[in-house]
Amino acid sequence: MIDVVVGAQYGSEGKGVIVSEMARRNEYAAFVRVGGPNAGHSHRAFNRKWAQRMLPVGWAHSGPASLLILGRGAVVSPDILQKEITDAEGYTENLRNRVIVDEGATWLQPRHESIEGKIYGDLHRMIGSTGEGVGAARRDRMARNISQSTLMGQRREDSMFLVGDTVEMLDDIRRGNSGSDILVEGTQGSGLSLVHGPWPFVTTADVNAAGIMADVGIAPGADVRVVLVARTYPIRVAGNSGPMFRELTWDEISTRTGKVIQEHTTVTKLVRRVGEWDPGLFRRACILNNPAWIALTFMDYVDPDLEGETDFARVMRSHEAAKFIANVEEIAERPVLAVGTGGPEWSVAWSS
Ligand code: GTP
Ligand code: MG
């Protein structure tokens, strides 16, 4: 099977936590990421927190033979990837021989970051972009200017990771015997899609399942299973980042939960915008992604007594949680199989 984890809203749905749990519960032959370092995936492993901007989260639960792949559609910052490999190396075996970057992946270079200027640049002011240079790197690729190196295969050899044809590798795994599962980790969320999102407040790729798979180079098929991750309260990055259904304040969330809550972005540390559950956005994400099942995170914002809960039956005993889940299942016409409850361990309750 090929599991594809996709965000249902504007990112920060907690895909990192769900991917990490899935990697713990199943043995995958390969973990794949596309997209760029403008997304940070938080997860917990080895008694600490991690915020992964390049390396697939699954590395932390990967066997010594499983591959960690940055696919052909990825936008790769070698510096950030090298730093993450160095950080992770003491915790897992044989890492340098298992990280494989596609030779055709886009090479993110310092000049791209300078063009966009991070959160001090025009793009941040105009559309709330994180300005990491991912869009500038993709534009370079589209310009097809042969005088500029653009692809990862055009770099000199690197001692920290391998560079190769990941489409062939993944195809070999896909055709292999049963048990050769692949986990594809999406970045950002359906509502940020270049094609399907509220332009111009969008990212520079289609971040829905079909777009992600096209970037990885895995064709559609009956063995592809989409997992849609949705938050009970969607967020957007800080600033002028686009339309939001029934926007709230963190004060309002704090009053509702009886706890002081304020979220900051993983990469830029700015205060996030937050809003009420948006049924229209979620329905559209279901149409675009045809999920097999839903992971619903931030249930601790709906019922604070559930914080850290891992027992699904107990989650369902909460009237508010059960009602919320029923509503989500009705829209999706698919089951909620995992519920995120936060707490110090970033807990998840699984229905089986
Ligand atoms: P992006 O591609 O950047 O959107 O990644 P992501 O979906 O992996 O999300 P990210 O890690 O950026 O943000 C999610 C944050 O929410 C992290 O800090 C998680 O620790 C936290 N989180 C995840 N699930 C839950 C949950 O159920 N409850 C609470 N309270 N926090 C959660
Ligand atoms: Mg993030």
Substitution site in 42, 202, 336 for ligand 1 pocket (most atoms within 8 Å of beta carbon): 42
Q: Residue 51 and residue 79: Cα distance in Å, rounded? A: 15
127 band by pLDDT with thresholds 50, 70 and 90:
very high
Over residues 80-103, mean pLDDT: 96
Q: Which amino acid is at 352?
A: S
Average of pLDDT values for 262-288? 92
Please give the average per-residue pLDDT across 284-299, as a whole number: 98
pLDDT of residue 265: 81
Percent above pLDDT 90 for the chain: 90
Distance 52 CA to ligand 2 centre (A): 9
What is the DSSP secondary structure assignment for residue 251, as one 8-state letter?
H
- Answer yes or no: is pLDDT of 310 > 60: yes
Identify the residue whose C-alpha is closest to ligand 1 atom 16: 14
Structure token digits, residue 211? 């777009």
Q: Which residues pair with 101 in a beta bridge?
A: 70, 163
In this prediction, residues 316-342 reach a mean pLDDT of 98
Q: How far is CA 201 from CA 10, 126, 196, 198, 310, in A?
A: 10, 9, 11, 6, 36
pLDDT given for residue 269 in this prediction: 82
pLDDT of residue 267 exceeding 70: no
pLDDT beyond 70 at 215: yes
Instruction: Answer whether 15 contacts ligand 1 (Cβ < 6 A).
Output: yes
Q: For residue 266, is pLDDT > 80?
A: no
Mean pLDDT on 301-328? 98
Of residues 239 and 13, more confidently modeled: 13
pLDDT of residue 122 exceeding 70: yes
CA atoms of 101 and 98, how far apart (whole Å):
10
| Confidence at 91, pLDDT banded by 50, 70, 90 | very high
Residue 268 pLDDT > 90: no
Ligand nearest to the backbone CA of 187: 1
Q: What is the mean pLDDT of the chain?
A: 95
Q: Does ligand 1 come within 6 angstroms of the Cβ of 50?
A: no
Mean pLDDT to the nearest integer, 140-162 = 92
Question: Separation of 178 CA from ligand 1 center, angstroms?
Answer: 31
pLDDT higher than 90, residue 236: yes
The whole-number pLDDT of residue 179 equals: 57
Verify whether ligand 1 is closer than 6 Å to residue 21 (CB atom): no
Query: Please, which pLDDT band fits residue 178 given cuts at 50, 70 and 90?
Result: low
Across 14-36, average pLDDT: 97
Pocket test for ligand 1, best of 22, 296, 305, 346 (most atoms within 8 A of CB): 346
- Specify the DSSP class assigned to residue 272: P
E strand or H helix at 293: strand 293-297
The span from the CA of 295 to the CA of 349, in Å, is 10
Tokens 């048990």 appear where?
179
Mean of pLDDT values over 255-281? 92
Among 64-73, 115-124, 312-321, which is the least confidently predicted range? Answer: 115-124
Ligand closest in space to the Cα of 15: 1
Ligand 1 contacts CB of residue 242 (under 6 A) = no
Residue 243 preceded by cis peptide, ω within 30? no
Residue 180: the pLDDT is 86
Q: Is 14 in the pocket of ligand 1 (CB under 6 A)?
A: yes
Structure tokens that stand for 75 in this block? 């936008």
Cβ of 130 below 6 Å from ligand 1: no
| Ligand 2 geometric centre to CA of 175 (Å) | 32
- Position 283 scores a pLDDT of 98
